[in-house]
Structure 1
Amino acid sequence: MVAKISVGSSLYGAIAYNGEKINEAQGRLLTTNRIYNDGSGTVDINKAMEGFHTFLPPQMKVEKPVVHISLNPHPEDVLTDAELQDIAREYLEKLGFGNQPYLVFKHEDIDRHHLHIVTVRVDENGRSIDTRNNFYRSKQITRELERKYGLHDAERKNRRLDTPLCEVDASAGDVKKQAGNIVKVLNGQYRFQTMGEYRALLSLYNMTVEETHGNVRGREYHGLVYSVTDDMGNKVGNPFKSSLFGKSVGYEAVQRKFARSKQEIKDRKLAGMTKRTVLSVLEGTYDKDKFVATLKEKGIDTVLRYTEEGRIYGATFIDHRTGCVLNGSRMGKELSANALQEHFTLPYAGLPPVPLSVPVEAGEDMRGQGASDDESMAGGVGLLTSEGPAVDAEEEAFIRAMQRKKKKKKRKGLGM
């Protein structure tokens, strides 16, 4: 993820540049802090200006108080609006702007969706927020967010755990070799804590595993038997004893794998990223097929198990980004089989989610702050001028055009 920070003096220009794009359906307002937001995804430019001026003191000595940030995830990173909101908030908090008024816009005018953030580097007392070393701090913050959310890094290297394996194809021959390759690679690359999670992972490649128990000459033994399945999960062909593939995928090795995976997932907090992603997608739809498809785009496969009546009784998520296989209930009651069944059951299934409004924070009373025109909203601090660098050439051109319009209106009023 690449961040670009610019400072300037044109607050109205920065808000209008983003606001006009949003109001022309080329994006949406994702979230705000200390600024009015009706939750519609659009922005009232004048009310936004009023919100900033409620916060800013009448007199300021900071020459360029406006901060305009663009956050650009890698094109292959598929992020929900909820995840983008979280990323923007965390970025601003770590940068020292978490308590400032700000607007977070998502631009969709090009295929590479990205964020624009408008805020100010002046506190309520008119003091400037320390922005020294922002370039290096920003780079460190984006790296931290990349690791937390499983994103591609700024150098555009692929950080996701790819799955080059193919499903076992019984018609292709040498099934034993195909099956052996799959179980060895999966045991080396993934973390799973139960036999159920292991089976869910194997099912992606048309395989399953069963435990065997017995007693030979008075000695109890435990073993594993691997089988190839068809696309419906039915076993086909002869099963394979784990010993045919080596001790690394046998019963004792897999039991040790369970304990090791549990500790690694706990120590490295690997389940958190998967849970955040799954919940953000779940909040965005009541359509089960869309839920599964969206997660797959984000690098997470979903394995749902059903009763004969068609009710969900099990859910497992395979996160290829972290190499973790996690039962839904392990991540929380909200992702348990019962919770998912309820979420995807009528009257909600197939309907768009109910939009949530972001409440205006306390102390953000906008009454009595109306302004007759853009000039009065400037408050005498030069926030309407085009001085200082804008976030990009397009915004600079926008501000210049706005200034030309203003001059034309003045001439017309003078009868020129």
Structure 2
Amino acid sequence: MIAKILAKGFASDIVGYVMREFHDKEKYTADTWRVIDSDGILGNDYRRIVDSFDIGTSLNRKISKPIGHISVSFDKADLPRLTDDFMVLLAKEYMERMGIKDTQYLVVRHLETDSPHFHIVYNRVNLHGKAIDESNNFDKSHKATKAIKLKYGLTFSPKKKLYEDAIAEMKPRIQAAMYRCKSWDEFKRRLAPAGITVQFYNDRDTGKPQGIRFSDGEFTFNGSKIDRAFSYGRLDKFFAKNAGIREAQPQQPTPISVTAKIKESPIANVVENVIETGCQALGGLFQVGPGYNPDEAEFERRMKRKPKKKKGISQ
């Protein structure tokens, strides 16, 4: 069991992320996630849940980012035990140990990966209009997860396993953030609710961006380490394509059909050369029309050519 305290924000963004509101609906279908518990929430659809949180946060306008977000994941070995009811039990005990009390919350289980996990979304303003005490949150979270694992006999994963699981968790989150994304700024905004930050590193000689790293607060990976499609260059081209900005490419002329009708002029020689070598030199750019006969054209050209006057002494 690992708990990750993710970026704070607003209900529209964080609830939208956990409920897949802005994800590809063909991939993140209704059977890839579900709400398994909530309190202080009116309704079960995205809009009503967001409205419920907004009403609660209005009790204290001084908190600039009023919605908290924590992801709790488990080792695959524990999957047979992780029913929805057991996850709800673990979520409530974790929140109790974290001091997340007397406030609105939502627990959403995600099912699209092999790594079992759920998300806790909570109002940092409690029902009395006071701020939740989040001092020493990371230390409290570490102690809470350790105590819960010992209490319920959950698996303690080795470091390598944690490393592999982190990559497995980050990949679908990055893919979801890429969906129809048109810029780096939009990409980073979408990743924030997923608890992932973006770091760039530049080329030493040119100073231009050369690579990208993704971090979940505990592990940091080069983009290509997670997936080759996540390299800086490929992502940059992907966003440009979505924004309708395509790389400048040589414009290819539309193939035309040429019916040769040779006249006595320098242009005739040019056309003749194009006809003879066009398919090879220009990749079939010029296609000879069906009415063209090279033998007849050569004969016509010779007949129209005026004979040159011979210089010399007349006899």
Give the TM bin, normalised by the shorter chain.
0.3 to 0.5
More RCO (CA 8 Å, sep 6+): 1
TM-score normalised per structure 2: 0.47
